[in-house]
Amino acid sequence: MLWDQQTQDLLFAVKTDPLGERRDPERQALTYELRLRQLGRTSAYRVEFEQLGNRYRVETGQMPEPKKFLERRPGRAVIWDFDDHGINAHPDSIPDDQTLLSLLAGPFSNQLVVAFRDSLVDWTIYHDLRVDQDALLRQAAVARVEQRVAPDGQNLIPVLHTLYTGDREFKHTVDAAMRAAFGVDFEELVFPPAADQRVQLRVRWRSLKTEQSAANLSDGTLRFLMLIAIFASPDPGGLIALDEPETGLHPGTMAIVAELAAAAAERTQVLLTTHSPQFLDAFHDVKPTVAVVGWEDGETRLTLLDQQELDRWLEHYSLGSLQLSGELEGLA
């Protein structure tokens, strides 16, 4: 990420809604900051600064510092409880390349900090979904209970087997999406047993005498099934981030994927990246929050578009046509 050697630091900041049953988002929201320092010109980094706290009293001008629950600087690491009692960790006990947040566990840690850490771990980021002929998801898989597609997508068969055979709503969503894409020729998914407590994935078509195995499905069909499983999961996690979901899909299925993503966004946060005007146009019935990626002075910058201004443009143009014309970048 620091490819031009003009800076040595990476800074991340995440602000979340309150955890648990807290209902005052401004007073009880948590902000996590992390700064990494590159070691020379290598690909290694050390944690330069780390802090988890509530910044409400700073943002309102009441205090110069936030209410801290965790802070890490070189040679110093502290965890605070709700009464502002701090516990200092021995400097040598915290590796330079590991965050303090990742090392906390157990009943004697600040449970708010642990809950925040668990909420980040609950995010699922899909970047490199393999569906090639050597991909594991084309082979029989151990029949274990799984409800969420892994970041690499290779546990698709256990997820489909668990949910398709045990969750009526999930089965209905999968069947409806597959029939919307392939018509009445699609019958159902089946999971015949294989050796060593494994199950196979097969698709039953009305026009074929034999079921079609995962090994023989097209890349696009497998990706489509994977996207259905990701968005329709009853346990989607705190965030779904998916890189270019349109890759390998038939254009006719993009509206189906957009509808599934919009439905998932009612239960969790959904973040999608795309270069496809057709995929953007598939969101004609919803108004997604839009961020535009630009390159300026050697930096990649993401700019969130003003929703009211974007709505005015969308009265006359589609989202995809705005992207093709370059007007989306002009609104940034």
Q: Are 171 and 164 in contact (CB under 8 A)?
A: yes
- For tokens 């199950």, the residue is 199
Q: Is the pLDDT of residue 23 over 70?
A: no
Q: Are 328 and 306 in contact (CB under 8 A)?
A: no
- Per-residue model confidence (pLDDT) at position 258: 96
C-alpha count within 13 angstroms, C-beta hemisphere, residue 194: 15
Residues contacting 78, CB < 8 A, separation 6+: 68, 70, 71, 72, 86, 87, 88, 89
Residue range 211-269, pLDDT digits in tens: 999 999 999 999 999 999 999 999 999 999 999 999 999 999 999 999 999 999 999 99
What is the rounded distance in angstroms from the CA atom of residue 137 to the CA atom of residue 130? 8
Residue 227 phi, psi dihedral angles, 5° rounding: -65, -40
- Per-residue model confidence (pLDDT) at position 26: 65
* Token digits of residue 183: 């018509």
What is the rounded distance in angstroms from the CA atom of residue 143 to the CA atom of residue 149? 14
Per-residue confidence band for 106, with pLDDT thresholds at 50, 70 and 90: low
pLDDT-wise least confident of 16-30, 59-73, 160-174, 299-313: 16-30
45 bridge partner residues: 38
What is the rounded distance in angstroms from the CA atom of residue 159 to the CA atom of residue 147? 5
Residue spans of alpha helices (H) in 44-187: 56-59, 100-103, 111-121, 156-166, 168-182
pLDDT-wise least confident of 103-112, 142-151, 264-273: 103-112
C-alpha count within 13 angstroms, C-beta hemisphere, residue 322: 22
What is the rounded distance in angstroms from the CA atom of residue 205 to the CA atom of residue 262? 28
Does pTM top 0.85 for this prediction? yes
What is the rounded distance in angstroms from the CA atom of residue 61 to the CA atom of residue 55? 10
Residue type, 8: Q
Residue range 153-176, pLDDT digits in tens: 999 999 999 999 999 999 999 999
Domains of the chain are: 9-121 (no CATH), 124-288 (3.40.50.300)
What is the rounded distance in angstroms from the CA atom of residue 155 to the CA atom of residue 166? 17
Q: Give 123 or 65, the one with higher predicted confidence.
A: 123
